[in-house]
Structure 1
């Protein structure tokens, strides 16, 4: 059964084809959850005839009922002429205490001060939040004499799913493998999983933690065009995206003059977009930083003489000014945020820092055209899961190092809990999968702490070790941030290239020992030379067993491996290389042609290539110098290179890796 068939079998009526959203959106500045709410009414089924009719219906609804600002006067005239008319608009409600009534303001229709019944407001408190709520409204017009306001709100329905069955959702999760579920979630947020590694998927989905965890403090900084703010503006009616430059105490927390609670009192997620841009404007409000800092630590804020609790998570998203190697060498990874926020006490409240520089710039080709959850349905489920705590699944499994502070441990546990709810809501997880989520959570917090050592000297006085012990085995793990691994590898490569041949000759030969190498998704600084050269040196016969040397890029990998072997030996030496691989009978003719072409090109390198087709699962390199290297992915350790003109095509150390393990054995 294909993933599409499995999705429709389990979640028919709760999923929608993601390319339809872009199709009906056109140039309308309407959030995805509004459009998918409508598509879910008419197109949540895999029937082309019904889908086409549904698309036409939704387009008609948008055309007839969505209010464009440029057409606001036409819409108002239509309401006046017909007496009532249904519209789709974003509205915000305030209390007019002088008149003792609630009044609505319409974002696109351009109306202000429209009376709205108390019952509508009491049933939809978020209308008072200041962020605006997309709604389907029936608007009326009165021609009566001697009235102050002719506009009437007859009916109002916020655009969101009425109810969801969390138990059913959790039970249906059991029908999917981890890989299938990750792909379904990626489709749900509008991205084609084919273009993303597992780590890439974790990074994209980690943005959802703010929607599924209460009081979660999240930051992502990276290049422009990577979709950092998309999830916060498009996914959920329970989140609000505001410009970082427009943040104030009154808007976020409380307006003492109007005695009105701010955004954190009404929304599940408050995201501050373009957080770095405030730096070029007015000076940061120090009082705001203190209030925010207190809220991030204690989940509370003061309103007059009283203290109020809130559960809103905070997300900070912004752009970086320099590349990662520059920041690691010359400044720190928080350098682009406003100066007033670069304080140890404030940044120490961050639970996770996502490496936005790892996220690819989103092009049209990476957007999903397959079925994913209607985003509003997913948003409601995530909101329900905010009530649960999955961090206790770590108890009895691992022990975090005693040097870690309470804030460090809380951050790691909250991140782990959030990822669990998103990927394993049914709580069925292998030990390997559990450690995978834990490593990602530790890395997200370590990225914060590494920068605090640079920014605030006081943190250096009490250094911590980001490590943990698996209680069942006693084995200790030390997760490292990928940028540190990549930067250190790049520096090492540069140092090696700068060494003269004379210095190299004076150095003693490397003392090789059996060991294991674990490569992470997106890791750079890796090459066949670095991984294999020292271990095959001096060999005259090498066997490479890799069942997947079939496609053009896989033959290119083999060619690069052979080039490394050729450069690794003396020109007058002869090396015999035997390749054991496999392909289906009908495709073996093409494979043989490719091997024979490669054979001819290797003669001048002093490499005699032989090949044979045998069906084996194991992947390894075995040399007659006594070394055997077990290959988790064979030679296929690099991600696909993007574009036609990419320096990574010529330099393996600049390519991103796929996660895999290599084991070096002395035989």
Structure 2
């Protein structure tokens, strides 16, 4: 396969610590092992970018899995092989218990099915997670044939946990400095296993936010949203330092401490404890569990009896929502799916951030990368190392939060900001503008929590989520996308006082959406229309990334009305989806013209090749030309190698600066029955700014 420049750069800068991320899928087969186990092996044998060496490495890893991985239905055969032929290296999950009657540690093999195997205390001390839910290991197992009562005939000659050996942070940051911010974010995306081409900046930040619990101690994250967005992937597959448990299966002894044995629970051994399927109104968690969790999430400590224990594990709560955002805002709140005992202001206030799962893309097969990324365990060790660092001080260097924000609000913002800085700028080299982007994003995550708390608990005071940029002294207010899209529902006084009101229909929501966005965005107001005109106004319109409900009809129709000559300049009308965007714009032109009128619509665009359009472009433009001609639109296209502006100019006087151009939507899910693919109002937008100006003397005549 052809590698991208980014792949080549990753391989050069991080030789020996990267792997092609699609390889594990080729060898995983039916072996139920985490990705980090496979990538550990691939990192040993298939880190080259030479196809022949990769193929040889894959075959070797397959052979290791075939010969050493313990399939449960082959357990008796493997035990017989060890007895007859001698010690054998295995791949199995091992769990250790302490036998206090005989004062020894005993290991149990998950797939091999043997237990009470004596294991060296030094090995247990070096790998304390063996005592909790177990660890995937490479043990060499022997059979001794002893008949002594109470002594297992099996022994462990050696044991190596599947983890990377060592991490050099200074070396890591030195190589990080060779990448631009955009490149580094894409490296992290590929390391997660995702193709960055399918994600906008905001989408990438959501994916990286899922990693913050690995780099920040005692960080509490919640993500609620639709199914299929990969909410638990990074917690179950990404790191040997995280564990996923069902939200309904956890108990106080398992999570915190067992009073009978005095043994500390999961929070004492894991960096991240993720609660899967956490949502569900029918769940009935123990009240004692909820109370201890609240204390731990707030104070990093817990107690049962007289002893107080502390721990550093971060919590990630993930669950599915049954309703869309406007339904939740109308009838309750954005935490409405939580079990009743967790739908408690004191519990919810402990969350540092809320990832809006409805903004996260549903994972599709084409979104997985075939490029190179870090071997999972190497990056996991890097993230673990950075738990010892604190980058939150950078926030106070550049910004000052509004005084109305509580200590928990500030902690939420600062810890999220610190986590994102560690992930994206571990070398601590960034501009104030880059810091501000992450700071604003961090504020959004905490604001989503606090706004809903004020809705749930009417005694809470609504703070101002604003900050002052110290260098300029400018104060800026932060909004989240839900309040931009659904202001009437978001800021109503209570859930009950609108129970009888009807939600707007989908068509009404789409039609009204841009009026709302426009009112809340930065606009250049015009108190009166240009002289002699009525209707549309000059303005500056900002569209947020991931915003929905945006259509060409709402953006352009009023400004195209009455024009007979329209010029579009957009250098990037080259590919199929961009041609489809052009056709959608021509459909809007047709919708505003009188049936008997004729429109001349010209396009000036560029091409990947110099001197002419590509054949694919020519064929696409000719087909569009033939399709619109019978409907009163003459389509003329020309090539300009110097084309760079993106604008619409009309002979009715209006000029629209398109910013990034017609290609303003993120890539939709493909398919004949995909709403995103077929209808613009369902697509998520990129971030863009449109400027609408009127030239009274205008009558812009398009080029021919």
User: What's the TM-score once normalised by structure 2's chain length?
Assistant: 0.87
Q: Is residue 141 of structure 2 the alignment partner of residue 139 of structure 1?
A: yes
Counterpart residue number, 2:673: 645
Equivalent runs, 1:245-644 vs 2, <5 Å: 245-276=248-279, 279-280=281-282, 283-459=284-460, 462-487=461-486, 491=504, 494-495=507-508, 513-583=537-607, 584=609, 585-587=611-613, 591-592=617-618, 594-603=620-629, 605-614=631-640, 615-642=642-669, 643-644=671-672
Distance 2:381 2:216 in 1: 13
Rounded to whole Å, the distance in 2 between the matches of 1:58 and 1:550 is 43
Give the match for residue 77 of structure 1. Answer: 80
Specify whether residues 498 and 611 from structure 1 end up closer, same or farther in structure 2 by C-alpha distance, changes over 3 A only.
Answer: closer
Look up the SS of the partner of 1:339 in the other structure: coil
- Between stretches 314-323 and 610-619, larger displacement belongs to 610-619
Asked if 2 retains the 8 angstrom alpha-carbon contact of 1:221 and 1:320, the reply is: yes
**Distance (Å, rounded) in 2 between the aligned partners of 1:333 and 1:94:** 42
**1: CA distance between counterparts of 2:47 and 2:174?**
21
1:171 paired with 2:198, answer: no
Indicate the residue corresponding to 2:691 in structure 1.
663
Distance in 2 between residues matched to 1:514 and 1:426, nearest whole Å: 44
Shift of 1:348: 0.8
Q: Is the 8 A contact 1:83 1:142 kept in 2?
A: no
Specify the SS of the correspondent of 2:397: coil
Unaligned runs of 5+ in 2: 489-502, 513-528, 696-704
Does 2:255 align with 1:227? Answer: no
- The answer to whether the 8 Å contact 1:241/1:271 transfers is yes
Shift of 1:292: 0.4
Q: Secondary structure at the match of 1:322?
A: coil
CA drift of 1:442 comes to: 1.7
Distance 2:343 2:5 in 1: 49
1:203 aligns with 2:242: no
The Cα of 1:208 is off from its aligned counterpart by 0.6
- CA offset at residue 396 of structure 1? 3.1
| Aligned-pair CA distance for 1:588 | 5.2
Conserved? CA contact 1:217–1:350, under 8 Å: yes
Instruction: Assess, with a 3 A threshold, how the Cα gap between structure 1 residues 114 and 628 changes in structure 2: closer, same or farther.
Output: same
CA distance in 1, matches of 2:29, 2:506: 48
- 1:551 deviates by 2.2
Change in CA separation of 1:319 and 1:589 when aligned onto 2, cut-off 3 Å: closer
CA–CA distance in structure 2, aligned partners of residues 91 and 557 of structure 1 = 55
Task: Describe the SS at the equivalent of 1:335.
Answer: coil
What SS does the corresponding residue of 1:140 show, helix, strand or coil?
A: strand
Which residue of 237, 241, 246 maps to 1:243?
246
8 Å contact kept, 2:451–2:462: no
Aligned residue in 1 for 2:100: 97
**In 2: Cα distance, 1:374 partner to 1:333 partner:** 36
Name the SS for the 2:613 alignment partner.
helix
Q: Please state how far the C-alpha of 1:73 moved relative to its aligned partner.
A: 2.1
Q: Deviations over 1:41-66 (max 9, x none)?
A: 11111122222222222122212221
Post-superposition CA distance 1:550-605 (Å, at most 9, x none): 22322221222122233234445554433222223343565455445544544565
Q: Is the 8 A contact 2:672 2:678 kept in 1?
A: no
Change (3 A) 1:477 1:529: farther
CA offsets 1:156-200 (integer angstroms, 9 cap, x no match): 111101101111111111111222222211111111222222222
The answer as to whether partners of 1:301 and 1:308 remain within 8 angstroms in 2 is yes
**What secondary structure is seen at the aligned counterpart in 2 of 1:558?**
helix
Question: Is this contact kept in 1: 2:465–2:478, CA < 8 A?
Answer: yes
More displaced, 91-100 or 144-153? 144-153
Is the partner of 1:531 in helix, strand or coil? helix
**Residue 197 of structure 2 aligns with which residue?**
194
RMSD over aligned CA atoms reads: 2.5
Q: Which residue of structure 2 aligns with residue 46 of structure 1?
A: 49
Number of corresponding residues: 654
Contact 1:92 1:127 in 2 (8 A): yes
Deviation at 1:254, TM superposition (A): 0.6
Is the contact between residue 493 and residue 525 of structure 1 (CA under 8 Å) also seen in structure 2? no
C-alpha distance after superposition, 1:17-58 (max 9, x if no partner): 112111111111101111111111111111222222222221
Per the alignment, residue 69 of structure 2 pairs with: 66
The answer to whether the 8 Å contact 2:223/2:317 transfers is yes
What is aligned with 2:13? 10
Deviation of the 1:625 alpha carbon: 4.3
CA contact (8 A) 2:646 2:661 kept: yes
Structure 1 residues 375-384 or 430-439, which shifts more? 430-439
Q: Is the 8 A contact 2:571 2:606 kept in 1?
A: yes
- Paired residues of 2:509 and 2:549 also in contact (CA < 8 A): no
Looking at structure 2, the residues matched to 338 and 452 of structure 1 have their Cα atoms a distance apart, in angstroms, of 16
The whole-number CA distance in structure 1 between the counterparts of 2:325 and 2:376 is 33
Task: Confirm or deny: 8 A CA contact 2:510 2:681 kept in the other structure.
Answer: no
Superposed structure 1 runs of 4+ greater than 6 Å apart:
496-499, 508-511
> How big is the shift at 1:495?
4.1
Give me the whole-angstrom Cα distance separating, in 1, the residues matched to 2:466 and 2:362: 32
How far did residue 327 of structure 1 move? 1.7
Q: 1:624 to 1:391 in 2, by over 3 A?
A: farther
- What SS class does the counterpart of residue 91 from structure 2 fall into? strand
Distance 1:334 1:474 in 2: 36
By percentage of residues, which structure has more helix?
Answer: 1
Residue 411 of structure 1 deviates from its aligned partner by 0.7
Q: Deviations over 1:451-509 (max 9, x none)?
A: 223322222xx01122223233344433333334344599597448999xxxxxxxx99
| TM-superposed deviation, 1:257 | 0.8
Greater shift, 381-390 or 105-114, is seen at 105-114
